[in-house]
């Protein structure tokens, strides 16, 4: 079981205690907050990238691939009606390094996004998730 506790800290600000770590959440001043923390819905995208990123790094380590740089970006569109859920998410996995084996990287990304990442599996129930992989700035196909 996972338990998260969250405390209201005034205005529209909340502090969540997640596995011993504090995460501050807030909204913009225009929405009644102080812009002092992350937006809760955007944190879903961070969780998605963290989940897949950890999978991918772990899989590539097992494949003996360790000398690379790795960044991710998620762009999401929301529905126009309430509740304004994510309907489309574009995930970009960007790798940099010398002589990176395309097949290993594609396999690691595929295993994460199709099998292991629970956050991806949950978000797929409401959003279409597109995956793009780039090696040294060039998109490679899955």
* CB-based contacts of 97, cutoff 8 Å, min separation 6: 67, 68, 69, 136
| Alpha-carbon span 68 to 93, nearest angstrom | 13
Token readout for 78 is 């929301």
Question: pTM of this prediction?
Answer: 0.94
Q: What is the pLDDT of residue 132?
A: 98
Q: What is the pLDDT of residue 141?
A: 82
For residue 66, the SS3 value is coil
Q: What is the pLDDT of residue 142?
A: 65
- Residue pair 19/1 in contact by the 8 Å Cβ criterion: no
Token readout for 45 is 């995208």
Q: What is the pLDDT of residues 104-142, one digit of tens each?
A: 999 999 999 999 999 999 999 999 999 999 999 999 986
- Residue pair 43/23 in contact by the 8 Å Cβ criterion: yes
Which residue shows structure tokens 């995208």?
Answer: 45
Q: Thinking of the domain 40-140, which architecture would CATH place it in? A: 2-Layer Sandwich (3.30)
Q: What is the pLDDT of residue 45?
A: 98
Measured from the Cβ of residue 87, the count of other Cβ atoms closer than 10 Å reads 13
| Alpha-carbon span 93 to 110, nearest angstrom | 11
Q: What is the pLDDT of residues 16-75, one digit of tens each?
A: 999 999 999 999 999 999 999 999 999 999 999 999 999 999 999 999 998 999 999 999
Question: Confidence class of residue 93 from pLDDT cuts 50, 70 and 90?
Answer: very high
Q: How does DSSP classify residue 121?
A: H
Average pLDDT for 67-93: 97
């Amino acid at each position: 079981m996972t338990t998260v506790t969250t405390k209201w800290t005034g205005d529209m600000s909340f502090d969540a205690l997640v596995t011993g770590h504090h995460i501050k959440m807030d909204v913009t001043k225009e929405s009644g907050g102080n812009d002092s923390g992350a937006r809760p819905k955007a944190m879903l995208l961070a969780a998605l990238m963290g989940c897949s990123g950890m999978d991918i790094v772990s899989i590539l380590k097992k494949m003996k691939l360790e000398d690379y740089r790795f960044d991710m970006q998620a762009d999401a569109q929301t529905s126009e009606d309430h509740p304004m859920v994510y309907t489309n998410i574009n995930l970009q996995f960007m790798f940099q390094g010398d002589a990176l084996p395309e097949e290993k990287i594609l396999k690691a990304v595929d295993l994460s996004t199709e099998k292991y990442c629970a956050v991806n599996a949950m978000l797929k129930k409401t959003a279409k998730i597109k995956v793009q992989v780039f090696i040294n700035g060039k998109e490679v196909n899955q």
